[in-house]
Chain A
Amino acid sequence: MAETLFDKIWDAHVVADLGGGVDLLHVDRHLLHDLGGGKALSETRERGLRVRNPELSFATADHVVSSAPGRTGGVHDWAQVLVESLRLETRRAGVRLFDVGGDAQGIVHVIAPELGITQPGTLVVCGDSHTCTNGALGALGFGIGASEIVHVLATQTIEQRRPKTMRARFEGAQPKGVYAKDMILALIGKVGMAGGVGHAVEYGGGAVRALGIEARMTLCNLSIELGAKIGMVAPDETTYAYLEGRRFAPKGPLWDAALAWWKSLPSDPAAKFDREVEIDVARLAPQITWGTSPEDAIAIDAQIPAAKPEALEYMGLAAGRPIAGTRIDRVFIGSCTNSRLSDLRIAADVARGRKVAPHVRAWVVPGSMAVKHAAEAEGLHEVFRDAGFEWREPGCSLCVGANGELVEPEARCVSTSNRNFVGRQGPRARTHLASPATAAACALAGEIADVRELLA
């Protein structure tokens, strides 16, 4: 029978059929971070349980660490406690930690693919809803809660109800100024933030095939903002070229064996999905959100719609006016959505030789130490600094504010992150989601701006 990519990976991981559509699944890769990792490990220990497969768990510090140059951990005492707990508990359990100060530290969903920990066909979980990002490599990744983390540590398995499947096809060439972020925001705008609830989404179509792995990660990252906790792209030559030679990727004969198996994973041509949607990429303009949900996405040259009065009030916007020209205070280029080398290159190309508006505070927070070093080797940090951006240290930073880095009340921030929820970037902070190119253009203009006007 014709099967989807999702079906093949799910079926390969069933340890036991628990009945009623629920399976006990094997977890190949478990990612831990500072927000809950230390606590989950200590709880496991205190309950008298052993970490069943410490070699399949990988930890880093990203959520609460400072992004300030010269940082050594958290800014505040409480953050330092979490980082110290992660250090102590990973050491006790024998779990690898990519620590602050090391050359592999970074946002968990940036480093797992970058180190080759995430591979096609692997089942990846993490106590973070953006674990769907890992699906860009043809893995089955999803976020779990604190209790489930302990379950995975103790049993290396997780109980899950099989979701339905949905395919989102992107066709057509990307117009100038339109990137993966714009593609996925347009999809969420079309189907709504509950449109993918209960589904595993496969992104396909010519426009997805044309994307690099990092851009595919941006696409998969926002699956959860579609309501889907799983998003994935079938592995192909782009995937294999990305993985080959990475630290934890298979080598030698194992690489050849892995490659043969990976090539069997893509959905069969006759495979049926429970739901299909299609987006015509050629017709897209750069997207930006106006409200307090990722589904509130519109074209950069559109007018603010007369909907959701509470969201408009929170955002300090008036319906019927163009979104472009709205004065901004902050710009954040970073997060597990858009902090990889290709994102920074795109933003730097916009910023090169130009200046950030004097009233705007603009940050660039690379996703990992590897991204930071690669960007510095290309001189991107100088491009940003010369333009007036702050060049900072890797972590989640302003996306979630868990480290105390916040946008001020009623300040307006154009952000390359994934959530514009009420209070997400700080109490009463106003967030507009956009691509790195659009965010850079807004920083220069000091207002919401159409990046196409800056692109040759």
Chain B
Amino acid sequence: MEKFTVLQAIAAALPTPNIDTDMIIRVERCVRTPRGEMGRWAFEMARYRSDGSENPDFPLNRESARGARILVAAENFGCGSSREMAVWAIAGMGYRCVIAPSFGDIFYNNCFQNGVLAIRLPQAVVDGLLRAVGSAAAPVRITVDLPSQTLTAANGEVHRFDIDRLRKKALLEGLDAIGVTLTREPDIAAWQARDRVRRPWVWS
């Protein structure tokens, strides 16, 4: 997994609440598109017009959002289906960090599996970022500093964010979650041995 430390990048704003993962990537793209090409189909129903051209009304198509690597989104972003392709699609568009007041629980976990930093911030803070980013004619840059767990907005305001210690370490060091868990094999074997005695019917 690619390491994540400090990201200073252009931000894009998507102010619609409850963006579901069906909206982020259609199921037929999940089964028929190679992982590396998912970015092209991210948000396709909103992003493109029926003739295949870009929809100028879609916020992520704004000129000021070109080259953005930080996505500021609204409440319950990534709700719905468990499809991890939603993260691949967003990462494929270039985003490495998503900021929202809340996320779909499964989507949130999936982000960290792919080196994408998902940041929860209070509604009022996110609303401020959405306004600042969404209303600007020129690109707006935000700095996300993972070691210090801070986000610095374009106006200089600094917001601290929470992140699980393990997730932070995995991102900073680019750790492979499976490799880390395999070092706990003795714990897993011991748990299973105890459980075979405690709940033999689960193993029959």
- Where the two chains meet, the residues of A that have a C-beta atom closer than 8 Å to any C-beta of B are 15-16, 18-22, 24, 26, 28, 35, 47, 49, 52, 64, 78-79, 82, 119, 121-122, 127-129, 142-148, 150-151, 154-157, 159-161, 163, 193-194, 197-198, 224-225, 227-229, 250, 254-255, 257-258, 261, 293, 400-402, 404, 419, 421-424, 427
Quote the shortest CB–CB distance from A310 to chain B (angstroms). Answer: 8
Q: Are A229 and B27 in contact (CB under 8 A)?
A: no
A-B CB proximity, top 5 nearest: A147-B113, A250-B201, A145-B110, A145-B84, A194-B76
* Residues of chain A lying within 8 A (CB to CB) of residue B204: 250, 254
With A155-B182, A194-B79 as known contacts, state yes or no: A258 contacts B188, CB within 8 Å.
Answer: no
Q: Are A423 and B22 in contact (CB under 8 A)?
A: yes
The residue on A at minimum CB distance from B45 is: A423
A289–B64 Cα gap in the complex (Å)?
37
Interface string of B192-203 (1 = CB under 8 A from A): 100100011110
With A159-B166, A194-B18, A194-B75 as known contacts, state yes or no: A64 contacts B102, CB within 8 Å.
Answer: no
Q: Are B32 and A78 in contact (CB under 8 A)?
A: yes
The residue on A at minimum CB distance from B201 is: A250
B55 at the interface (CB under 8 A from A): no
The residue on A at minimum CB distance from B1 is: A147
Q: Are B181 and A157 in contact (CB under 8 A)?
A: yes
* Residues of chain B lying within 8 A (CB to CB) of residue A122: 202
Quote the shortest CB–CB distance from B43 to chain A (angstroms). Answer: 11
Q: Are A157 and B110 in contact (CB under 8 A)?
A: no
* Residues of chain B lying within 8 A (CB to CB) of residue A151: 177-178, 181
A225–B18 Cα gap in the complex (Å)?
11
B137 at the interface (CB under 8 A from A): no
Main secondary structure of the interface of B (DSSP, over half): helix
A52–B185 Cα gap in the complex (Å)?
10
With A19-B166, A127-B82, A194-B79 as known contacts, state yes or no: A402 contacts B27, CB within 8 Å.
Answer: yes
B164 at the interface (CB under 8 A from A): yes
A448–B113 Cα gap in the complex (Å)?
43
A227–B101 Cα gap in the complex (Å)?
14
- Where the two chains meet, the residues of B that have a C-beta atom closer than 8 Å to any C-beta of A are 17-18, 20, 22-23, 26-28, 30-32, 45, 75-76, 79-85, 87, 102-106, 109-110, 113-114, 164-166, 177-178, 181-182, 184-185, 187-188, 191-192, 195, 199-202, 204
Please list 20 pairs of residues, one from A and one from B, whose beta carbons are closer than 8 Å in the complex, sorted by A's number: A24-B181, A28-B202, A49-B178, A78-B31, A127-B82, A128-B82, A145-B87, A145-B109, A147-B114, A151-B177, A156-B192, A161-B164, A194-B76, A197-B79, A197-B105, A229-B105, A257-B200, A419-B80, A421-B22, A423-B23
Quote the shortest CB–CB distance from B119 to chain A (angstroms). Answer: 15
The residue on B at minimum CB distance from A146 is: B84
A25–B95 Cα gap in the complex (Å)?
30
A26–B192 Cα gap in the complex (Å)?
8
A142–B18 Cα gap in the complex (Å)?
20
* Residues of chain A lying within 8 A (CB to CB) of residue B104: 197, 227
The residue on A at minimum CB distance from B85 is: A146
Q: Are A147 and B177 in contact (CB under 8 A)?
A: yes
The residue on A at minimum CB distance from B182 is: A155
With A128-B82, A148-B113 as known contacts, state yes or no: A15 contacts B166, CB within 8 Å.
Answer: no
The residue on A at minimum CB distance from B105 is: A229
A19–B192 Cα gap in the complex (Å)?
21
* Residues of chain A lying within 8 A (CB to CB) of residue B113: 145-148
* Residues of chain B lying within 8 A (CB to CB) of residue A82: 31
* Residues of chain A lying within 8 A (CB to CB) of residue B184: 15-16, 24, 155, 157
Q: Are A147 and B164 in contact (CB under 8 A)?
A: no
